[in-house]
Structure 1
């Protein structure tokens, strides 16, 4: 037994708390979680059943924390977990699960299967198992300012470009403002559009805001990889930057796992409450709308549908807000089947889209979204997650459906701002 494997096994043991034990004890093997999973539905392979993806952890629980398991262990009858087994399960845990949370929603006994898979990833990463792309991104982000390395110069360039486009002065590292905006590396790499859109909206709403050069990257690879130490370090950067500037609210950008990491898991990761609020950008825009500070003029006449990002809508509760906004700027808005909290994943979340090894299984999983879109035949798809945005564009192109344009909701709202 290698030291790395033993470290991973210990990490897995640490994840087996009272909720996990109750989950394993109460699972009735009904199979509903399988029907809720895009990977099982599109392959019909039993190994992709969500509860099966945590089987090594269930085996460890049974062997070491149940009466009959301990007796079997004493008699030499209880099977041990091996490094080979973790190697085999690695592709199930990372390649065929986006941690979308749909399986959790349908579990009749309330098991949070998604969180159990997250815990399973903690043991995997500690034992040296995980996609090389995610492990490399974790190192780059820890050593730099983003999963792509040090993007500080790129950020400042985007701010300069956004100021030139909008004619609005955008100040970085400005203390005492209302809002501190975070960005995903996708948004920084793709252009100045998101920063320019926020600048225009904040200017119209009469709000003060800034971007911190010490904590601007929202993406949290630690959450996707399953490394709470990395995740806590990345959250701490944002919290320290916000506290240093004394801002009232931190804005999570159009990024699903970033929202989960900073809003819902962050305080637990760093062990304390925040002295500021955390809100998704769409929550902020909805507040502006409700207060009469977000006024638009004109509408897009294209046939438009909306893709619900799993971590923001299903696991974050931001469901009505994007629809309130979209109805302001779209005259032909149509919903897909299963829209809202039970919508189907884009197929790329949870690190799957960043994992080249998962390309084939992801392509199969996307067929569910493909059929959703084919049924409503949209000209445009709007979403509020940068990774969903890029995944949808890539998969639509791969399926010869790239005549469908993919848009970000924040940028769309900025486009129709009242002059």
Structure 2
């Protein structure tokens, strides 16, 4: 553990915007009511602005414009210690999904989730990262998958889906328009989405492929706050796509993958891409609007939609999933709140990969459960494989009976073949 490295990283992460955010907080407590961890525990340590205390203390001691005068009067915080970092590790990794809901209610416009991300980078410098995340990162670097799914296994899964649908799925095919990447959970648990994509793309007449060099979008480096690992994982996707010469890379039903590749990726690799990034839900909506996908019939169940935080609140893909549902669902009902104000599944930001956080994560699901109890849907649809997995686990834990469905797979069910 290197405390000095952690402090140096925290201080270097405090740019003008971060400093203005740290100075702007008026400790009003608005963010507390927006956080599902605080709401379901009442523990003041889980108030979002409190989680910023390590970064705030580093700023006040090392970068505050008035720190020189304040030091004369003993008004600067003490230097951070090993005990401080260990204590805040739980707050930074276990009780924050980086969902950003606290940020949208902050009257001062503070990007609290962004500052937590900066704090995580300090934790990485001090080697204080949950084992679940470091293990996932190691597997991703070694095999290409945080779950250890090797290319040979991936090829077998794709072959099985091709056989099930009767549609050939060509891997590593150059010169096509689209390269699809999947979330880790889609490859492991929800691989039927591959068959659904094959059916949809055949119907729409798209040329597409998947790469055996970069088939997963999950970026553990982004989640844990390690820029070096994040760059390596993004670079794999970029290199594979540019080697194949595709026009688009399709980001999957995965929360953070879209922002990791679309916005953070160019900064990490230091250049613009030779392709465009499009989220699968954006693409499906475009195909529906263009008439390249037509559907037949509608689902009669009472359906609701869980908005994945990174896709909807932070990614802006709000209306597209609802437009698709409007085409295939006969009895769609919104949860309250929904859209940009949605409540997190509880497992984003690496929390679902962190066994230390499991008890707290399941407790935080209480907020989502209250939403569902009010709406009483027959099934819940979402557009994130990680959300789907987390929601299924929590639903089982609370003895609820409610299928969680993929929007892509649901659309494929109603294709007008």
Question: Structure 2 length normalisation: TM-score?
Answer: 0.97
What SS class does the counterpart of residue 312 from structure 1 fall into? helix
User: Could you tell me whether the CA contact under 8 Å between 1:158 and 1:191 is conserved in 2?
Assistant: no
Q: CA deviation at 1:151?
A: 2.1
Q: CA deviation at 1:273?
A: 1.0
Q: CA deviation at 1:72?
A: 4.5
Residue 16 of structure 1: aligned partner: 14
Q: CA deviation at 1:36?
A: 1.1
What SS class does the counterpart of residue 352 from structure 2 fall into? coil
Q: CA deviation at 1:69?
A: 2.5
Number of residue pairs aligned between Structure 1 and Structure 2: 416
Residue 230 of structure 2: aligned partner: 231
What CA distance in whole angstroms lies between the structure 2 residues aligned with 1:306 and 1:32? 26
2:39 paired with 1:41 = yes
Deviations 1:82-116 (A, max 9, x none): 11101000000001100001111111122111100
What SS class does the counterpart of residue 298 from structure 1 fall into? coil
What SS class does the counterpart of residue 100 from structure 1 fall into? coil
User: Could you tell me whether the CA contact under 8 Å between 2:30 and 2:105 is conserved in 1?
Assistant: yes
What CA distance in whole angstroms lies between the structure 1 residues aligned with 2:395 and 2:86? 32
The aligned runs of 1:6-405 (5 Å cut-off) are 6-73=4-71, 78=76, 79-190=78-189, 192-401=191-400, 403-405=401-403
Q: CA deviation at 1:150?
A: 4.5
Cα–Cα, structure 1 residues 144 and 75, in superposed 2: closer, same or farther, change >3 Å? farther
What CA distance in whole angstroms lies between the structure 1 residues aligned with 2:292 and 2:50? 49
Q: CA deviation at 1:5?
A: 2.2
Which range is displaced more, 65-74 or 260-269? Answer: 65-74
What CA distance in whole angstroms lies between the structure 2 residues aligned with 1:68 and 1:348? 39
Q: CA deviation at 1:183?
A: 0.8
User: Could you tell me whether the CA contact under 8 Å between 1:64 and 1:70 is conserved in 2?
Assistant: no
What SS class does the counterpart of residue 343 from structure 2 fall into? coil
What SS class does the counterpart of residue 311 from structure 1 fall into? helix
User: Could you tell me whether the CA contact under 8 Å between 2:35 and 2:102 is conserved in 1?
Assistant: yes
What CA distance in whole angstroms lies between the structure 1 residues aligned with 2:161 and 2:219? 25
What CA distance in whole angstroms lies between the structure 1 residues aligned with 2:69 and 2:340? 43
What CA distance in whole angstroms lies between the structure 1 residues aligned with 2:190 and 2:88? 38
Deviations 1:247-290 (A, max 9, x none): 01000111001112111211111111111111111110000011
What CA distance in whole angstroms lies between the structure 2 residues aligned with 1:101 and 1:124? 20
User: Could you tell me whether the CA contact under 8 Å between 1:5 and 1:128 is conserved in 2?
Assistant: no
What CA distance in whole angstroms lies between the structure 1 residues aligned with 2:158 and 2:43? 48
Question: Structure 1 length normalisation: TM-score?
Answer: 0.97
User: Could you tell me whether the CA contact under 8 Å between 1:308 and 1:339 is conserved in 2?
Assistant: yes
What CA distance in whole angstroms lies between the structure 1 residues aligned with 2:50 and 2:244? 46
2:408 paired with 1:410 = yes
What SS class does the counterpart of residue 341 from structure 1 fall into? helix
What CA distance in whole angstroms lies between the structure 2 residues aligned with 1:117 and 1:240? 30
What CA distance in whole angstroms lies between the structure 2 residues aligned with 1:217 and 1:353? 17
- Structure 1 unaligned residues grouped into runs of 5+: none
Q: CA deviation at 1:74?
A: 6.5
User: Could you tell me whether the CA contact under 8 Å between 1:154 and 1:188 is conserved in 2?
Assistant: no
Instruction: Give the root-mean-square deviation of aligned CA atoms.
Output: 1.3
What CA distance in whole angstroms lies between the structure 1 residues aligned with 2:81 and 2:64? 20
Which range is displaced more, 284-293 or 38-47? Answer: 38-47
Deviations 1:137-158 (A, max 9, x none): 1111112211122521111011
Q: CA deviation at 1:67?
A: 4.1
Deviations 1:336-390 (A, max 9, x none): 1011010000011111111111122112210000000001101100000000000
- Structure 2 unaligned residues grouped into runs of 5+: none
What CA distance in whole angstroms lies between the structure 1 residues aligned with 2:307 and 2:239? 31
Q: CA deviation at 1:167?
A: 1.1
User: Could you tell me whether the CA contact under 8 Å between 2:307 and 2:382 is conserved in 1?
Assistant: yes
What SS class does the counterpart of residue 335 from structure 1 fall into? coil
User: Could you tell me whether the CA contact under 8 Å between 2:362 and 2:394 is conserved in 1?
Assistant: yes
Q: CA deviation at 1:184?
A: 1.4
User: Could you tell me whether the CA contact under 8 Å between 2:99 and 2:348 is conserved in 1?
Assistant: yes
What SS class does the counterpart of residue 312 from structure 2 fall into? coil
User: Could you tell me whether the CA contact under 8 Å between 2:11 and 2:63 is conserved in 1?
Assistant: no
Which range is displaced more, 295-304 or 309-318? Answer: 295-304
